[in-house]
Structure 1
Amino acid sequence: MSRLIVISNRVSVPKAAGAAGAQGGLAVALNSALREHRGIWFGWSGQETQEFTGHLDMQRNDGVTTATIDLEPQDIEEYYNGYANRTLWPLFHYRIDLTEYDRNFGEGYERVNARFAASARPLIEQDDLVWVHDYHLLPLGSLLRAKGVNNRMGLFLHTPWPPTRLLVSLPFHERLVESMLAYDVIGFQTDEWLGSFLHYLEKEMGLAIGPDGIVEYQGRRILAKAFPIGIDYAEFTQGANSAEAAEAHDRLKASVRGRKMLIGVDRLDYSKGLGERFESFSRFLADNPDQASQVVLLQIAPPSRGDVASYQQIREDLERKTGHINGAHADVAFVPIRYVNRGYPRRQLAGYYRASEVGLVTPLRDGMNLVAKEYVAAQKPDNPGVLILSQFAGAALQMEDALLVNPHSLEHVSETIKRALDMPITERRKRHERLLASVRDEDVVHWRNEFVSALFQKSAPHSDASQTSDTLLQR
């Protein structure tokens, strides 16, 4: 039986049952697959070292083996804060205005990917399947090929893939994409992101795309396909029905004193459209004075990437907008926006979702967005809340029974908030029933099984794979 080797920027160490701070659905699904396939999860520890040695910290927790390395401060600045989060992340989310092109960032990205390849190589045995995750490690497959890894390897991109006309603004974009063709399977969240990738291969590389998504390159066959990710439905719904979730629900309900609640839960990031969301809510308050004192927006936004200037700016902007909106619409017993810069355990979040009449999920661009699916899964079927979802989230393609909005249009979002708050219970139930079926049937286990099944399929040998990796690091 083949082992599964998972490689990602960071590693999620399994926690014992009942431990505080529940893991996310992705970690749960991958840990389950690793137990099933006797696998190893490799990545960065999140810790710094003054001198990179390649030392592997091997641990075994709850039946899963993890292997991590520490990185030097320069690695973290150039690879993680730099190329990954100041170049690729904004570009992949269509924010070319925020994209920074710096040669040092690119060199750091390649250097750390090479360090990942050198450190992971001894872990990989002949029949192992290798599954690489996300934009941090796009060229890793080609670097492993150069080290003699002929195993089946797959890449899954959790973010969007930008249109060709945006991607070509990236220096050395050809080399980056070419390195990705060392994988056997390349997975995307949606057909839209897949289509953008295939369009690049056709227009910029002159490659032919087969009707089944097979790309032929240097004598090899690469499958490019959409694998929409889901939540761990069973685990999440169990948590939503827990005593901890019920307590969180009751506490939040009591605090709003009969008012209706809108909820947003997002990592603090410019791609999430939080500024536009606040302005849309302000527009709703102004347009509906009869309801303005009876509706509260709870926005939970844990900070992230605080070392990146654009993230510092979004936090300052949101704090300013919150103060302005609350100053204009609050009174001594009522504040319309509750803006919280911290995270909460998943069971508490489930209780907060269930206590909210509207889930407001309005990113400007998102690979998928699992908050939308969590919100649906947390609702009571007899009295469900309404999901308002950005048409630019990957989840919109699976969740057509949400109220889809253009997050750039303040009027559209404002009008849709009113529609959601006024929606009859019969319509709410019908929409929720269809949404719940999608969330339940296309969960994270289904996603994992679909990808691993594709990775098991055989293809042509990797005879010319080293050529791709040789050109990757050339200047």
Structure 2
Amino acid sequence: MARLIIVSNRVAPISEGGPAAGGLAVGVYDALKETGGMWFGWSGEILGAGQPMLTVTQRGPVTFATIGLTRRDYDQYYRGFSNATLWPTLHYRSDLTEYDRSDFDGYRRVNAWLAARLVPLLEPDDIVWVHDYHLIPFAEALRLAGVRNRLGFFLHTPFPAAQVLTTVPPHAELVRALTCYDVVGVQTAPDLRALVDYIVCEAGGTVTHDGRVDAFGRTLQIGAFPIGIYPDEIASLAASGSEDDVVHAMRDTMGARKLIISVDRLDYSKGLLERFRAFETLLEHSPAQRQQVTFMQIAPPTRADLHAYQAMRSKLESEAGRINGRFGELHWTPIRYIHRQYDRAVLASVFRAAAVGYVTPLRDGMNLVAKEYVAAQDPDDPGVLVLSRFAGAAQQMHGALIVNPIDRVGMAEALDRALSMPRDERRSRYRDMMKMLRDENVSVWRDDFLRALRGEAWPLPETARAGLTD
């Protein structure tokens, strides 16, 4: 059987039960453990001097091949074009987009350099699955190096509307590079429609009803492949983490109060400020909820060297203090804002203890926290998921209370409804979402994509074709 080669910007230092990792890391590692193969990418190390050296290690069926970056490469490829240009654009925040031609040159240079490090490790029948926006030109670099293996790409973020993507000056070069893959996958039907719109209207290409694309002289397959989780594994983690000292202490301090939980990386796409203010509106409009509920926001740090994130952290801390000062009592703190990471088992147990999962990004490719919250619930007495319509998960999780994160009053009303929802309705919504989570778990995501990459599924499954037009 052909090896699976996973390529991502960062090879996450995942350990069983270790700190919570992002959706890409969890989904990819769970997939790779079952198939065996190699995970290749940046080690996370930034070198002050010297030439980065490739390190290869083995962990069970998975080979990890990692390499550091020089400071210049990190600044241009990662901090620059990937996160100052692409990230805000992909999340519909063109107002925050910064562009520098030298950063784009560095982005392409590092992609070519990383591709050259991978080429000697490849075997002729390997299939290569590349992940996320940092590595859009990776296939183009491999093709120029003579690689003829099957190459697939999956975008974990949203794919923006054409009018948004075209605000990035080299947008045509990016999409042309994307067509060097054999299969390109996105999270949802709306993302797929946006990709089709760009190909047809901006690139002058064609797209058939089964996802065949002809553009820039290339033929490839596109589809929507929503990433999932292993819900029963999350349920087990919730049970095992319930004995943790941190969880016990939290329960003791909460007493009989209900808990609203949010867990997000500290990122402007997550809508944290809007979320804080909607909770404030709940306390304003529903006085009966005061002293009866606590909102806990866990926001692990991310990209702390970027000014926008430093400013956002300061603003959130200020807002939490202001709201607590306005409504707090000697025996009650309305908002608990925590800026650190916790183990996955601890987080799963906190999810299980929470009456409401509060997941309201301004824009998100999928958002696995929404899925993990539901999976962690007690089937007999489950909590309620309040979910932004702009998270990819909203396309699947119809048992959630769907909200618009810009509508502060609407979110407050959804929180109030969630806190008072009868148990029978909560159970019904939970059962519907758990069925979906099991039917569309991470193995289904992996298998559907890899079948398309191997050319075994033509046309694509109906779920992958959603969003395509004739």
The alignment's TM-score, normalised by the length of structure 2, stands at 0.93
Partner of 2:40: 42
3-state SS of the aligned residue for 1:251?
helix
* Matched residue, 2:175: 177
Residues 87-120 of structure 1: per-residue CA shift (max 9 Å, x gap): 0000000001100011121111111111111111
- Alpha-carbon distance between aligned partners in 2 of 1:394 and 1:234, rounded to the nearest angstrom: 21
Q: Which residue of 2 aligns with 1:254?
A: 252
Within 2, Cα distance between the matches of 1:299 and 1:23? 17
Question: Counterparts of 1:250-399 in structure 2 under 5 Å?
Answer: 250-399=248-397
| Alpha-carbon displacement from aligned partner over 1:152-183 (angstroms, at most 9, x marks no partner) | 00000000011011111111111110010000
Distance 1:211 1:361, change over 3 A: same
Q: Is residue 451 of structure 2 the alignment partner of residue 448 of structure 1?
A: no
Q: Equivalent residue for 2:406?
A: 408
Q: Is the Cα–Cα contact under 8 Å of residues 29 and 232 in structure 1 kept in the other structure? A: no
1:266 Cα deviation after fit: 0.4
Deviations 1:20-39 (A, max 9, x none): 44666754553454455441
Shift of 1:62: 2.6
Are the aligned partners of 2:203 and 2:215 in contact in 1 as well (CA < 8 Å)?
Answer: no
How many residue pairs end up in the alignment? 458
Amino acid at match of 1:164: A
Residue 3 of structure 1 is matched in structure 2 by: 3
| Contact 1:26-1:444 within 8 A present in 2 as well | no
Q: Is the CA contact 1:44–1:69 (under 8 Å) kept in the aligned structure 2?
A: yes
Kindly indicate whether the alpha-carbon contact (under 8 Å) linking 2:386 and 2:401 is maintained by their aligned counterparts in 1. Answer: yes
Q: Tell whether the 8 Å contact from 2:179 to 2:218 is kept in structure 1 after alignment.
A: no
Q: Distance in 2 between matches of 1:254 and 1:273?
A: 29
For 1:308 and 1:125, the matched residues in 2 are separated by 39
Which residue of 2 is the match for residue 235 of structure 1? 233
1:419 to 417, 420, 440: 417
1:224–1:97: structure 2 CA closer, same or farther, 3 Å change rule?
same
Letter matched to residue 6 of structure 1: I
Change beyond 3 A, Cα 1:217–1:165: closer
Structure 2 match to 1:101: 99
- How well do the aligned residues superpose, as a CA RMSD in angstroms? 1.9
Measured after TM superposition, the shift of residue 257 of structure 1 is 1.7
The amino acid of 2:345's aligned partner reads R
Question: Structure 1 residues 330 and 225 mapped into 2: Cα distance closer, same or farther (>3 Å)?
Answer: same
Match for 1:393: what amino acid?
A
Task: Write the letter of the residue equivalent to 1:146.
Answer: L
Structure 2, gaps ≥5 residues long = 458-470
Distance (Å, rounded) in 2 between the aligned partners of 1:169 and 1:431 = 40
How far apart are the structure 1 equivalents of 2:120 and 2:79? 28
SS in 1 for 2:205: coil
Which residue matches 1:186? 184
Check 1:52–1:190 CA distance in 2 against 1; reply closer, same or farther (3 A cut). Answer: farther
TM-score (norm 1): 0.93
Within the candidate set 127, 133, 136, 1:135 is matched to 133
5 Å-filtered alignment, 1:201-240, equals 201-217=199-215, 220-240=218-238
**Alpha-carbon distance in 2 for matches of 1:100, 1:361:** 28
Which residue matches 1:472?
none
**CA distance change for structure 1 residues 385 and 34 in 2, over 3 Å: closer, same or farther?**
closer
SS in 1 for 2:282: helix
Are the aligned partners of 2:27 and 2:228 in contact in 1 as well (CA < 8 Å)?
no
Q: Given the superposition, is the C-alpha separation of residues 234 and 426 from structure 1 closer, same or farther in structure 2, using an over 3 Å criterion? A: closer
For residues 125-172 of structure 1, the C-alpha deviation after alignment (integer angstroms, 9 at most, x for no partner) is 111101000000001001100000111000000000110111111111
Distance of aligned partners of 1:52 and 1:442 in 2 relative to their CA distance in 1, 3 Å threshold = farther
**Deviation of residue 429 (structure 1)?**
0.8
Q: Secondary structure at the match of 1:290?
A: helix
User: Hey, what's the Cα distance between the residues in 1 that align with 2:447 and 2:454?
Assistant: 10
Preserved contact between residue 179 and residue 219 of structure 2 (Cα < 8 Å): no
After superposition, give the CA deviation of every residue in 1:321-343 in whole Å (9 maximum; x if it has no partner).
01100000001111100000001
Map 1:425-440; keep pairs closer than 5 Å: 425-440=423-438
Which stretch shifts more, 63-72 or 209-218?
209-218
Is contact 1:13-1:61 (8 Å) kept? no
Q: How does 1:52-71 map to 2 (within 5 A)?
A: 53=51, 55-71=53-69
C-alpha deviations, 1:202-233, integer Å up to 9, x for none?
A: 00111111010110246643111000001122
Cα distance in 1 for residues equivalent to 2:286 and 2:21: 40
Contact 2:85 2:99 in 1 (8 A): yes
- From 90, 93, 114, the equivalent of 1:92 is 90
Amino acid at match of 1:190: T
The alignment-based identity, stated in percent, is: 49
Amino acid at match of 2:80: G
One-letter amino acid of the counterpart of residue 128, structure 2: V
Q: Which amino acid aligns with 2:142?
A: L
1:220/1:101 CA distance change after superposition, 3 Å = closer
Q: Which amino acid aligns with 2:141?
A: L
Q: Which moved more, 1:330-339 or 1:252-261?
A: 252-261
Distance 1:436 1:118, change over 3 A: same
Aligned to 1:465: none
Query: Residues 14 and 62 of structure 1 are in contact (CA less than 8 Å); yes or no, is this contact kept in structure 2?
Result: no
Q: How much has 1:250 moved relative to structure 2?
A: 4.1
| Closer, same or farther: CA 89–238 of 1 in aligned 2, 3 Å | same
Q: Distance in 1 between matches of 2:225 and 2:102?
A: 33
How far apart, in 2, do the equivalents of 1:237 and 1:453 lie?
29
